[in-house]
């Protein structure tokens, strides 16, 4: 059999979610490239799979990719896994897949578990058009741009940053629907649905535990110039009367439907 790469998604929590095709590929592979050999060994031991493991992670991707490509050139079959879910999706693997394609080697991708898809469906938010953002950015300006997406947004977030990210969203659009999906497929799986304002308040005092996927309903259509002018005028009057700009922008946004970030930018640009 000619050398090739098999991309194998692994369970995101419950080990019973591994597919028969993935197990067969792991058994037949000459080498399994994995993000954490200890974590992959737990899965393999569960199903009695004996395999030669090598580490493949963000710190050794370039060197390991060259090594694995050379092995595939000589006929080896390499299986690629990450700690959980589909490799390359916010996980290592892109360098290796790109190197295989450049070398003319076959790349086979097996279907399997995905935290992003599981969260999207569990959120009960529109799924006809959606966007995956990976891990949310930390800078406020970049975060606001991500939240402005008109389609449903799916993103990973650190449990320590869930409250701050939801607070930003609540300031922009307090009524935006959100689902916080925690520990999917695991014993303590939880999906909490509500508005951005409600969930920002819920998690302000107690951060969620475990791995978190945020699903956010699509942003509002672009505000018309007339609506923006009217709402900006109301905000200016509140600020001139002594109100603090950001809280006042949040109040006007809730009353008018014009996003708070647009109001705040209009206010500061005219100052």
Model-level pTM? 0.78
CATH number of the CATH domain containing 70 = 3.40.1010.10
**C-alpha triplet 257, 120, 200: angle, nearest 5°:** 45
pLDDT at 43 over 90: yes
Examine the domain organization and report whether 98 and 12 are in the same domain.
Answer: yes
Examine the domain organization and report whether 168 and 71 are in the same domain.
Answer: no
As a whole number of angstroms, the distance between CA 179 and CA 192 comes to 5
- Split into its structural domains, the chain has a count of 3
Examine the domain organization and report whether 175 and 237 are in the same domain.
Answer: no
Confidence of residue 261 (pLDDT cuts 50, 70, 90): confident
pLDDT tens digits for 178-232? 999 999 999 999 999 999 999 999 999 999 999 999 999 998 666 677 888 899 9
Domain housing 119 = 115-216
Phi then psi for residue 107, to 5 deg, are -125, 120
What percent of the chain is modeled with pLDDT above 70?
Answer: 98
Examine the domain organization and report whether 74 and 93 are in the same domain.
Answer: yes
Q: What kind and span of H or E run contains 50?
A: none
CATH number of the CATH domain containing 204 = 3.30.950.10
Secondary structure of residue 217 in the 3-state scheme = coil
Which is nearest to 125 in space by CA: 256, 221, 12, 219?
219
Strand partners, 153: 131, 216
**Pairing between β-strand 77-81 and β-strand 152-157 as defined by DSSP bridges:** unpaired
Mean pLDDT of the chain: 94
Examine the domain organization and report whether 202 and 262 are in the same domain.
Answer: no
Neighbours of 98 (CB within 10 A): 13
pLDDT tens digits for 110-119? 999 999 999 9
Examine the domain organization and report whether 66 and 9 are in the same domain.
Answer: yes
Examine the domain organization and report whether 141 and 177 are in the same domain.
Answer: yes
Examine the domain organization and report whether 172 and 212 are in the same domain.
Answer: yes
Strand partners, 135: 156
Neighbours of 170 (CB within 10 A): 24
């Amino acid at each position: 059999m000619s050398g090739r790469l098999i991309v194998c998604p692994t369970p995101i929590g419950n080990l019973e979610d591994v597919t028969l095709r993935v197990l067969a590929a792991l058994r037949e592979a000459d080498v399994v490239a994995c993000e954490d050999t200890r974590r992959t060994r737990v899965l393999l031991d569960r199903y009695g799979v004996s395999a030669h493991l090598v580490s493949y992670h963000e710190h050794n991707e370039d060197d390991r990719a060259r090594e694995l490509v050379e092995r595939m050139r000589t006929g080896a079959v390499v299986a690629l896994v990450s700690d959980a879910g589909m490799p390359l999706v916010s996980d290592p693997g892109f360098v290796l897949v790109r190197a295989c394609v450049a070398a003319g080697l076959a790349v086979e991708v097996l279907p399997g578990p995905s935290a992003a898809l599981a969260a999207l469906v569990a959120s009960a938010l529109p799924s006809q058009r959606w966007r995956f953002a990976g891990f949310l950015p930390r800078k406020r300006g970049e975060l606001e741009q991500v939240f402005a997406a008109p389609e449903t947004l799916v993103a990973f977030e650190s449990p320590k940053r869930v409250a701050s990210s939801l607070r930003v969203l609540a300031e922009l659009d307090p009524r935006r629907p959100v689902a916080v999906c925690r520990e999917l497929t695991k014993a303590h799986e939880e999906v909490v649905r509500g508005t951005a304002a409600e969930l920002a308040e819920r998690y302000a005092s107690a951060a969620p535990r475990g791995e978190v996927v945020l699903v956010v309903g699509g942003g509002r259509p672009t505000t018309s110039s007339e609506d923006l002018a009217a709402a900006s005028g109301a905000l200016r009057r509140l600020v001139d009367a002594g109100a603090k700009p950001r809280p006042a922008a949040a109040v006007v946004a809730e009353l008018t439907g014009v996003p708070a970030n647009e109001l705040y930018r209009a206010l500061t640009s005219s100052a």
